[in-house]
């Protein structure tokens, strides 16, 4: 049988976050990362966005495992929703697996611990058709790993989020020797991080960042309120070190932070000097110049919490004169406006703001020079830029061409693309697509909010809603009571009484016209009211609210209710038996060799 090798772009290109890719070798599929992204302002009411779960519906029986590169939400955030329905083994480093368990059990407390497997950079896993190995990478969280899938066509290497920093601590350091060893093999394709491809300046060494944070704390006259992402453990460690060196005590706030810090401490990934942490009740007794408040906010996003502090709506902390707010993470382009708004609120409350990202060029992702260096080391035949918006993928492509790769050997893909390898022509080519749409998470709903619902929400946010209620007697073909109209987010009713009166007259005219010239139909009469009102309101206001007609009928409902009540009284009572449904699940066996 001829071998088959495919590279599937399930999610994570032409966008920031939501990383998920897959390599298929014959009848086995290896999924690389399973992340989420937080919605932008166009996704009204959406809590989270994850990759298309239809992929697992179609290919779930072929998926032999999900392999994680690190413990950030863009790598592990979709796991709760995948494992809710599919028992798929998950592989990752010790810290990554512990953070994945925290993430999964927040949404799915019944998830089996037996699905999680801890591996390290020395682990090799042999499957029927491929071999999976790992290599250490530098990122803002320890125990980050890249993944090497050994296929009959060569190595498929996925970096995950990475950068190069020779001064990084041992638990954060990239293994260049291991990369060189992979480069000596035939590397078929490199799936490489593009998030920071447009950066022309090198990333500042983390050692220098640590010294800068210490100086900020030392020069602060009052409290220091640090805003950082909970999973950015390298920054958390630098904050703890700076507080210790300057004689300050640290209060941890935020549900995510407490769990992550506790887990990292237990595993030895965070060093917290004895007596450094304080409790909420110690806050009043600790002088401002000895206090550091480490705030991460819900789901690792601290900006909302800072705004609440500035507005005096936070449950524990209120920003006052003399406070220094230190934003210790580099915000993405999508939240720069929110950062500016938050800073303005802090200054109004009497505090000051320092942003690490403005003072130092720091990122957890590879610069353009780093990407070119990786290409020189790995020497891939094909490059697939991933993890980044479209412009970043194109910049990555240009960098690769300057590093010596041919233009035709670089693939700018979109979510849902599937690349298949032709063993005869030694080429990758696009084949039938795989599911690559977004799955929206809204409250407890998974995927039940689609484009139509989002469009309605957008219209509601723009022009509001206009509701018309009318009661009719279809037998007598007349309106029983004066129609009632109201609106929300459209116009101020008291100042637009004439518009409301004209709308009522239009509703009467439309319904009477329907009675006279059409055969009665519920759908048609509502549509007539909607169409006429939409045209009228736009002509009067130049706005297009959502028009919701409610047409009710007298007599008929009472007659039907009496018939239903009488039939219930006459019917004999029956004993109800509830069937018992027993589900049986199989167990997947994985051969694991070191």
Residues at the annotated binding site? 361-365
Helices (H), 254-367: 255-266, 303-310, 336-348, 356-359
d(CA 321, CA 481): 61
Specify binding-site residues for substrate: 361-365
Q: How many CB atoms lie within 10 A of CB 537?
A: 23
Tell me the three-class secondary structure of 30-45, residue by residue: EEECCCCECCCCCCCC
Tell me the three-class secondary structure of 534-567, residue by residue: HHHHHHHHCCCCEEEEEEEECCHHHHHHHHHHHH
* Coil, helix or strand at residue 532: helix
Tell me the three-class secondary structure of 335-397, residue by residue: HHHHHHHHHHHHHHCCCEEEEHHHHCCCCCCCCHHHHHHHHHHHCCCEEEEECECHHHHHHHH
d(CA 395, CA 392): 5
d(CA 73, CA 95): 13
- Taking CA atoms, 561 is separated from 118, 438, 572, in Å, by 62, 44, 19
Two tokens, residue 420: 């298949």
Two tokens, residue 578: 């509830």
d(CA 545, CA 488): 9
End-to-end CA gap in the chain: 29
Torsions phi, psi of 47, nearest 5?
A: -85, -45
- Judge contact between 223 and 39, C-beta under 8 A: no
């Amino acid at each position: 049988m001829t071998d088959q090798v495919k590279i599937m772009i399930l999610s994570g290109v032409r966008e920031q976050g939501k990383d998920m890719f897959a390599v298929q070798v014959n009848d086995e599929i290896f999924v690389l990362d399973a992340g989420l992204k937080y919605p932008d302002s166009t996704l009204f009411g959406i809590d989270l966005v994850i990759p298309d779960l239809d992929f697992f519906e179609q290919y779930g029986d072929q998926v032999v495992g999900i392999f994680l590169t690190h413990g950030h939400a863009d790598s592990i955030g979709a796991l709760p929703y995948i494992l809710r329905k599919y028992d798929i083994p998950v592989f990752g480093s010790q810290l990554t697996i512990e953070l994945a368990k925290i993430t999964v059990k927040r949404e799915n407390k019944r998830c089996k611990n037996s699905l999680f497997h801890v591996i390290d950079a020395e682990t090799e896993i042999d499957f029927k058709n491929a071999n999976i190995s790992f290599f250490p990478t530098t990122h803002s969280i320890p125990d980050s790993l890249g993944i090497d899938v050994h296929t009959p066509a060569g190595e498929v290497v996925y970096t995950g989020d990475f950068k190069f920093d020779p001064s990084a601590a041992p638990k954060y350091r990239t293994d260049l020797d291991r990369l060189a060893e992979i480069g000596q093999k035939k590397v078929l394709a490199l799936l490489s991080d593009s998030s920071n491809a447009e950066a022309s300046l090198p990333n500042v060494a983390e050692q220098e960042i640590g010294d800068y944070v210490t100086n900020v704390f030392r020069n602060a006259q009052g409290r220091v309120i640090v805003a950082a992402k909970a999973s950015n453990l390298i920054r958390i460690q630098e904050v703890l070190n700076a507080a210790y060196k300057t004689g300050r005590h640290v209060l941890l706030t935020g549900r995510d932070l407490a769990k992550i810090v506790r887990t990292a401490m237990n595993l030895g990934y965070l060093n917290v000097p004895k007596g450094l942490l304080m409790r909420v009740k110690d806050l009043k007794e600790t002088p401002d110049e000895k206090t550091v408040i480490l705030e991460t906010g819900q789901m690792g996003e601290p900006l909302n919490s800072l705004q609440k502090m500035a507005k005096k709506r936070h449950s524990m902390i209120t920003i006052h004169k003399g406070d220094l707010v230190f934003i210790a993470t580099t915000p993405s382009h999508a939240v720069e406006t929110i950062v500016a708004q938050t800073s303005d609120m802090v200054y109004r409350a009497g505090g000051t703001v320092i942003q690490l990202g403005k003072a130092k060029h720091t990122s957890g992702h590879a610069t353009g020079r780093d990407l070119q260096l990786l290409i020189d080391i790995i020497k891939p035949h094909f490059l697939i830029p991933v993890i980044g918006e479209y412009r970043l993928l194109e910049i990555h492509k240009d960098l690769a061409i300057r590093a010596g790769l041919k233009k035709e050997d670089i693939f700018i893909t979109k979510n849902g693309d599937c690349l298949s390898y032709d063993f005869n022509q030694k080429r990758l080519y696009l084949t039938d697509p795989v599911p690559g749409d977004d799955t929206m998470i809204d409250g407890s709903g998974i995927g039940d909010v689609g484009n139509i619902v989002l469009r309605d929400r957008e219209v509601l946010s723009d022009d509001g809603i206009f509701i018309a209620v009318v009661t009719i007697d279809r037998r007598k073909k007349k309106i029983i009571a004066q129609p009632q109209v109201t609106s929300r987010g459209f116009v101020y009713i008291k100042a637009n009484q004439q518009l409301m009166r004209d709308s009522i007259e239009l509703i009467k005219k439309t319904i009477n016209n329907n009675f006279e010239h059409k055969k009665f139909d519920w759908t048609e009469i509502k549509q007539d009211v909607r169409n006429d009102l939409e045209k009228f309101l736009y002509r009067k206001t130049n706005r297009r609210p959502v028009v919701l007609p409610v047409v009710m009928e007298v007599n008929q409902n009472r007659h039907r209710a009496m018939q239903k009540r009488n039939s219930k009284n006459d019917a004999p009572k029956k004993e109800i038996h509830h069937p018992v449904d027993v589900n049986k699940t199989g167990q997947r066996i994985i051969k694991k060799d070191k």
